[in-house]
């Protein structure tokens, strides 16, 4: 009975997190359209529902109802599998992300995490790195030169920046002494913002490297070279339409949320308050339970706003600038950060 209860509870958490993640993806698109609209001195979506809040539901229905065209020359099995791989990797990675402080539900099961494993950070890096297969296979199976070039660009870009991204996190892991995401957050929780890795932890350089690599990993401006319309028509998804086309963009926004969650956990103290232990607990038990989730969501929301701000501000790089920035600047800087963190931990 205990095994059955554990299975049912895990299944319920998976269903809830998946629904919340999909709704988060939909409303991240709305957030981007509204913020970019403000940056460009226009309103953005405002007609469907109050303040345009129902626009994501209409866009989702439109994607399902659009005509689904499949070119005759594609390699059909891989062509259909590619968007599933991209979106699946974006959704699976959230399984090891803790959203709040440990809180026990029925039968002692954790409420705010699907799976708490000691190598959670390694799992996230492994799963998200598999997403490049969806893009590479989409370009190859489309039997289109523009799609193939876009997928090759993306493969080179993601592999290059994954090295810098992974190395930027080594300093955080060295400081915490663990790959467990809860342990990393607990290590930053004593004095609030003063002990977060981005400030008191001395990992602001690592955060900068992670931020730049994250923009490139999610194919976001100014690193959105794999889908540069002026050069590649549409890149790896040129031959896709209807819901399959939407799945690639859902994967992109899902990866943005994943990147924001990881940045929050590793550099911004996770679900902890900026005041840390200096903030006295409130009288309400319910508010004390929900407050960590509030801090976590606010930090992820701020990270997503930064994504949109950069898109509305910076122009696209040339491809040679993109690769030079990754290999000649970020990668050596990440290695220097590891050496500096190691020396600091050895001699502090």
Task: Tell me the average pLDDT across 273-286.
Answer: 67
Distance CA(67)–CA(240), nearest Å, equals: 11
- φ, ψ for residue 62, nearest 5 deg: -65, -40
Please give the residue that has the higher pLDDT: either 150 or 247.
247
38 contacts: CB under 8 Å, gap ≥ 6: 44
227 contacts: CB under 8 Å, gap ≥ 6: 150, 219, 234, 235, 236, 237
The predicted pLDDT at position 277 comes to 62
Structure tokens at 227: 């889908």
pLDDT digits (tens, 9 = 90+) for 35-51: 999 998 888 888 888 88
The predicted pLDDT at position 170 comes to 92
Task: Tell me the average pLDDT across 99-111.
Answer: 64
285 contacts: CB under 8 Å, gap ≥ 6: none
Residues 123, 126, 129, 131, Cα dihedral to 10° = -70
Distance CA(106)–CA(5), nearest Å, equals: 9
**Contact (CB, 8 A) for 240 and 248:** yes
The predicted pLDDT at position 336 comes to 94
Distance CA(105)–CA(38), nearest Å, equals: 42
Q: Where are the domains of the chain?
A: 69-347
- φ, ψ for residue 312, nearest 5 deg: -80, 0
331 alpha carbon, distance to own chain's centre = 21
The predicted pLDDT at position 276 comes to 66
| Res. 156: pLDDT tops 60 | yes
Sorting pLDDT into bands at 50, 70 and 90, what band is 338? very high
Distance CA(62)–CA(113), nearest Å, equals: 33
| Res. 3: pLDDT tops 80 | no
The predicted pLDDT at position 293 comes to 87
| Res. 106: pLDDT tops 60 | no
What are 110's strand-pairing partners?
Answer: 104
The predicted pLDDT at position 1 comes to 46
Would you tell me the crossing angle of helices 76-92 and 120-129 to the nearest 10 degrees?
160
The predicted pLDDT at position 262 comes to 92
pLDDT digits (tens, 9 = 90+) for 218-235: 888 788 776 666 666 667
The predicted pLDDT at position 207 comes to 93
| Res. 107: pLDDT tops 60 | no
Whole-model pTM?
0.90
| Res. 108: pLDDT tops 70 | no
């Amino acid at each position: 009975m205990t095994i059955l209860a554990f299975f049912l509870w895990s299944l319920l958490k998976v269903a809830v997190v998946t629904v919340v993640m999909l709704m988060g993806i939909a409303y991240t698109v709305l957030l981007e359209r509204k913020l970019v609209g403000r940056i460009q001195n226009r309103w953005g979506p405002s007609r469907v529902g109050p303040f345009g809040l129902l626009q994501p539901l209409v866009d989702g229905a439109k994607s399902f109802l659009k005509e689904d065209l499949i070119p005759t020359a594609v390699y059909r099995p891989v062509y259909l599998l590619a968007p599933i791989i991209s979106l699946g990797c974006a959704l699976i990675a959230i399984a090891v992300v803790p959203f709040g402080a440990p809180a026990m539900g029925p039968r002692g099961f954790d409420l705010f995490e699907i799976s708490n494993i000691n190598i959670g950070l390694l799992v996230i890096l492994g799963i998200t790195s598999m997403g490049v297969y969806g893009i590479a296979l989409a370009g190859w199976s489309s039997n289109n030169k523009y799609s193939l070039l876009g997928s090759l660009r993306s493969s080179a870009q993601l592999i290059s920046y994954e090295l810098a991204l992974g190395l930027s996190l080594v300093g955080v892991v060295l400081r915490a002494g663990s790959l467990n995401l809860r342990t990393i957050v607990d290590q930053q929780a004593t004095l609030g913002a003063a002990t977060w890795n981005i400030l008191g932890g001395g990992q602001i350089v690592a955060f900068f490297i992670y931020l730049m690599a994250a923009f490139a990993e999610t194919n976001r401006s100014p690193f959105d070279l794999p889908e540069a319309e002026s050069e590649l028509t549409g890149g790896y998804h040129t031959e896709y339409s209807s819901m399959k086309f939407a799945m690639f963009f859902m994967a992109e926004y899902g990866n943005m949320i994943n990147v924001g969650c990881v940045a929050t956990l590793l550099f911004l103290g996770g679900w902890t308050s900026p005041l840390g232990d200096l903030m006295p607990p409130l009288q309400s038990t319910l508010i004390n339970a929900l407050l960590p989730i509030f801090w976590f969501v606010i930090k992820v929301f701020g990270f997503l706003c930064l994504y949109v701000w950069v898109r509305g501000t910076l122009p696209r790089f040339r491809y040679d600038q993109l690769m030079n920035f990754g290999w000649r600047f970020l990668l050596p800087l990440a290695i220097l950060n590891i050496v500096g963190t190691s020396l600091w931990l050895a001699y502090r």
